[in-house]
Amino acid sequence: MKNGFGIFLAAFIALGVSWCGFVLAPVLQLGTAQQASVLNSSDIYPLQRTGDATLGLQVYRANGCAACHTEQVRQDGVACEVVLTSTGKTPVVVSNLVSTLKLTGLTKNEADAASDKITAAGGSVETRIVPVGRDISRGWGLRQTVATDFLYDYPVQVGSLRAGPDLANIAVRAPDANWQLVHLYAPQALVKNSAMPPFRFLFEVRKIGDAPSPDALQFPKDFAPPAGCEIMPTPEAKQLAAYLLSLRADVPLYDAPFTP
């Protein structure tokens, strides 16, 4: 081969094809995404994060939190479960029947068959959709993470390493602002053996003035600051906590259905 231009052209095509696949196509497919409607509801999702939470995402980015935390819940599949809502007029027959049937971890067809049997016996049932997976069993989310969850985020911080737990639903697990702030200040005070570095530089230790500030952190007994001092969160700490408290992906969507 003597022609440098030939090499150039072929390399150009090889890279160009992958560019079309993984740059152009996602921009066309996802770049114009809009809010989605919540299943069986008139609500739309997601809502824009609050001002503090939006600023908090920038604190999260600046400190590289995504180096250790993911924001993506994996789901291995979906199962159905049948729930008895009423035993109807023949409670003994229905409850005897129910005790013989397998009602959780069913496929759609099995769930339909079970609900038909119970309905025939006079009971009434509800079939629920339940996502299953390792992350979901851990209680890290009700459903898998989908593209819509990140609609308003810049930069999107999905993360790739779990040196710390997944945060996609941290607001559901720990909805208390004081807990979040104390955990940022001294993770080991709340989570035993936590490997997380404390972010003391986001806080200020100061002498209590005339009266303790209502914003000061409330510590568990053993970890209280020295007498006469209080720990005040800086605006960055408050914003970061606000962002963490905005992380909840707990509504059913068309892409990720479940029965709430």
Binding of other proteins by 93 (CB under 8 A): no
Q: Could you tell me if 202 and 237 are in contact, meaning their C-beta atoms sit under 8 angstroms apart?
A: yes
Closest CA to 132 of 120, 121, 124, 140: 140
Binding of other proteins by 74 (CB under 8 A): yes
Binding of other proteins by 198 (CB under 8 A): yes
Least Cβ distance, residue 215 to other proteins (angstroms):
21
CA distance 149 to 116: 36
Q: Which stretch binds other proteins (CB under 8 A): 85-93, 105-113, 172-180, 192-200?
A: 192-200
Least Cβ distance, residue 52 to other proteins (angstroms):
18
Q: Which is nearer to other proteins, 18 or 41 (CB)?
A: 18
Beta strands of 73-133 (E only): which ranges?
A: 77-86, 124-132
Pick from 79, 101, 151, 189 the residue near other proteins by CB under 8 A. 151
Residues 102-131 that bind other proteins (CB under 8 A): none
Binding of other proteins by 20 (CB under 8 A): no
Q: Could you tell me if 183 and 245 are in contact, meaning their C-beta atoms sit under 8 angstroms apart?
A: no
Binding of other proteins by 201 (CB under 8 A): yes
Spacing of C-alpha 62 from chain mean position: 21
Binding of other proteins by 234 (CB under 8 A): no
Residues 31-70 that bind other proteins (CB under 8 A): 31-33, 61-68, 70
Q: Which is nearer to other proteins, 2 or 89 (CB)?
A: 2
CA distance 154 to 161: 19
Q: Could you tell me if 242 and 52 are in contact, meaning their C-beta atoms sit under 8 angstroms apart?
A: yes
Q: Which stretch binds other proteins (CB under 8 A): 109-117, 170-178, 199-207, 239-247?
A: 199-207
Q: Could you tell me if 255 and 148 are in contact, meaning their C-beta atoms sit under 8 angstroms apart?
A: yes
Least Cβ distance, residue 139 to other proteins (angstroms):
9
Q: Which stretch binds other proteins (CB under 8 A): 83-91, 120-128, 142-150, 240-248?
A: 142-150
Q: What share of the chain is helix, strand, coil (3-state, %, to 5)?
A: 40, 15, 45
Pick from 44, 47, 163, 208 the residue near other proteins by CB under 8 A. 163
Q: Could you tell me if 45 and 37 are in contact, meaning their C-beta atoms sit under 8 angstroms apart?
A: yes
Residues 206-225 that bind other proteins (CB under 8 A): none
Beta strands of 171-250 (E only): which ranges?
A: 203-207, 229-233
Q: Could you tell me if 121 and 93 are in contact, meaning their C-beta atoms sit under 8 angstroms apart?
A: yes
Binding of other proteins by 200 (CB under 8 A): yes
Q: Which stretch binds other proteins (CB under 8 A): 96-104, 148-156, 169-177, 222-230?
A: 148-156
